[in-house]
């Protein structure tokens, strides 16, 4: 058995409670922790913002990408979409789907998670038919056959759990019905629309395995199930069905907003919620080190209260190795409690293993983002 070297200790002037009631001499708190937000942690109180650097050299740095500038090429297959961020356990893509898929696809490398950023459409798979709309997550189990018929253009965030699977997080003290009740999860149906696509015409299935695509041809449409039973199925969840955990006296860590868990990463969803009201409580995300995880945030919609000049469709990427946190304007607004409610919607990917940036992402990077924490005079 392994055990952290861990024992609570206090040195100098420090608050008794993390993220609240800071010493008068310092308004900046920095958390250094392990295992995401579940391991041992120390909270430092600083006289200057931990993000107040004046120069930065080297490849390791905060990054921001404007995925609105990606070429909106209509790709008939999701397997043709370029990788934006990836590692051995996770692949992060953004797919513009404009026309009905002419072939079925099957991912033999792992589960897929779709998030509908724009548009709507109909998805047909082994399990039946389901309508997808803006704000929907859709979890597709490994080796499920499926195809999409968009109503116009759909923009879909795609996160593959390579050689892994998606599961729900443990909810602990708050119980199984907190955050979202499993009863809100929808599954495809063998409905009239599904039956209407039965066909004796030739269909092909593009199977991805080890990132290589093979094609299987059938003299009929293999989506011909008349029914099914069991406890393995794709599921749909809309962010509007998420009821976030809240505390008016304590700023909860991002892990409190976990939506899906895979073997080496988690997916969290930030949705509108009241801002902490206790006078001594921190009211913006706390400065923290990414000591064990790379952090990716995809901004879906709303006013992203901890960031300046970040619009919907953009992504920030904070690799492990440095402190990050709210921009100066957001930090000042939080201290003044100018806002009492957040209206942001964002999808966060936290990976235990370092992510590699694809060429498509680098082509739309904002190189000045690293200096966006500098206070404007």
Kindly state the average pLDDT of the residues 238-253.
93
Four-point Cα dihedral 26, 30, 32, 35, nearest 10:
140
CB 169 within 8 A of CB 261: yes
Q: How much is the mean pLDDT over the chain?
A: 92
Sequence ranges of the binding site for homogentisate: 324
Beta-carbon contacts of 221 under 8 Å, excluding residues fewer than 6 positions away, are 197, 198, 199, 200, 201, 203
CB 154 within 8 A of CB 148: yes
Identify the top-confidence range among 24-33, 40-49, 249-258, 264-273: 264-273
DSSP 8-state symbol, 35: T
| Tokens 């505390």 sit on residue | 247
Each residue's pLDDT tens digit, 131-178? 999 999 999 999 999 999 999 999 999 999 999 999 999 999 999 999
* pLDDT score, position 307: 67
Each residue's pLDDT tens digit, 342-351? 889 999 999 9
% of the chain exceeding 90 in pLDDT: 69
C-alpha R_g of the chain = 22
Q: Residue 246's closest CA among 270, 280, 268?
A: 270
Q: Place 44 in a pLDDT band, splitting at 50, 70 and 90.
A: confident
Kindly state the average pLDDT of the residues 338-365.
94
**Dist. CA 144–CA 110, nearest whole Å:** 10
Kindly state the average pLDDT of the residues 48-54.
91
Is pLDDT above 70 for 225? Answer: yes
Q: Where are the domains of the chain?
A: 28-65+246-366, 71-239
Identify the top-confidence range among 48-57, 74-83, 225-234: 225-234
Kindly state the average pLDDT of the residues 64-86.
89
Pairing of strands 28-33, 287-289: parallel
**Dist. CA 114–CA 125, nearest whole Å:** 14
Catalytic residues: 251
Pairing of strands 145-150, 85-87: unpaired
Top CATH class of 71-239 equals mainly beta
Q: Place 329 in a pLDDT band, splitting at 50, 70 and 90.
A: confident
Is pLDDT above 80 for 122? Answer: yes
* pLDDT score, position 242: 97
Q: Residue 131's closest CA among 187, 176, 69, 55?
A: 187
* pLDDT score, position 375: 80
**Dist. CA 101–CA 95, nearest whole Å:** 13
Is pLDDT above 80 for 305? Answer: no
* pLDDT score, position 156: 97
Beta-carbon contacts of 275 under 8 Å, excluding residues fewer than 6 positions away, are 283, 334, 337, 339, 340, 341, 342
Q: Place 306 in a pLDDT band, splitting at 50, 70 and 90.
A: low
* pLDDT score, position 73: 66
**Dist. CA 51–CA 106, nearest whole Å:** 44
* pLDDT score, position 74: 63
Superfamily of the domain at 28-65+246-366: Jelly Rolls (2.60.120.10)
DSSP 174-188: G-TTSBS-GGG-B--
* pLDDT score, position 285: 82
**HEC profile for 139-164?**
EECCCCEEEEEECCCEEEEEEEEECC
Sequence ranges of the binding site for Fe cation: 288, 294, 324
% of the chain exceeding 70 in pLDDT: 98
Sequence ranges of the binding site: 288, 294, 324
276: region left, alpha or beta (phi > 0 left; psi from -120 to 50 alpha):
beta
């Amino acid at each position: 058995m392994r055990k952290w070297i861990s024992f609570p200790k206090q040195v100098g002037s420090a608050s008794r409670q993390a993220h609240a009631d800071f010493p008068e001499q310092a308004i900046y708190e920095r958390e250094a922790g392990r295992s995401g937000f579940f391991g041992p942690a120390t909270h430092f109180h600083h006289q200057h913002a931990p993000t107040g650097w004046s120069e930065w050299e080297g490849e390791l740095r905060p990054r921001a990408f404007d995925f609105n500038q990606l070429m909106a090429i209509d790709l008939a297959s999701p397997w043709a979409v370029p990788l934006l961020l990836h590692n051995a356990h996770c692949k992060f893509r953004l797919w513009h789907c404009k026309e009905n898929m002419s072939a079925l696809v099957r991912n033999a490398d792992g589960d897929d998670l779709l998030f509908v950023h724009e548009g709507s459409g109909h998805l047909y798979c082994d399990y039946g038919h389901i309508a997808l709309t803006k704000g929907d997550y859709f979890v597709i189990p490994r080796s499920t056959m499926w195809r999409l018929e968009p109503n116009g253009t759909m923009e879909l965030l795609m996160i593959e759990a390579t050689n892994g699977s998606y599961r729900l997080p443990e909810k602990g003290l708050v119980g199984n019905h907190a955050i979202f009740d499993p009863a809100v999860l929808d599954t495809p149906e063998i409905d009239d629309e599904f039956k209407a696509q039965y066909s004796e015409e030739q269909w092909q299935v593009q199977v991805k395995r080890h990132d290589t695509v093979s094609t299987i041809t059938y003299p009929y449409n293999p989506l011909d199930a008349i029914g099914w039973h069991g406890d393995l199925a794709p599921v749909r969840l809309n962010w509007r069905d998420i009821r976030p955990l809240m505390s008016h006296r304590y700023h909860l860590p991002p892990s409190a907003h976990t939506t899906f868990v895979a073997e080496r990463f988690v997916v969290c969803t930030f949705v509108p919620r009241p801002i902490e009201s206790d006078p001594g409580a921190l009211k913006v995300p706390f400065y923290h080190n990414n000591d064990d995880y790379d952090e990716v945030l995809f901004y879906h919609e709303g006013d992203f209260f901890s960031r300046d000049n970040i619009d919907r469709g953009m992504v920030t990427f904070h690799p492990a190795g440095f402190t990050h946190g709210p921009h100066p304007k957001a930090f000042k607004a939080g201290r003044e409690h100018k806002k009492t409610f957040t209206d942001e919607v964002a999808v966060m990917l936290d990976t235990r293993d370092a992510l590699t940036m694809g060429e498509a992402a680098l082509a739309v990077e904002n190189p000045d983002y690293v200096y966006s924490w500098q206070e404007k005079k």
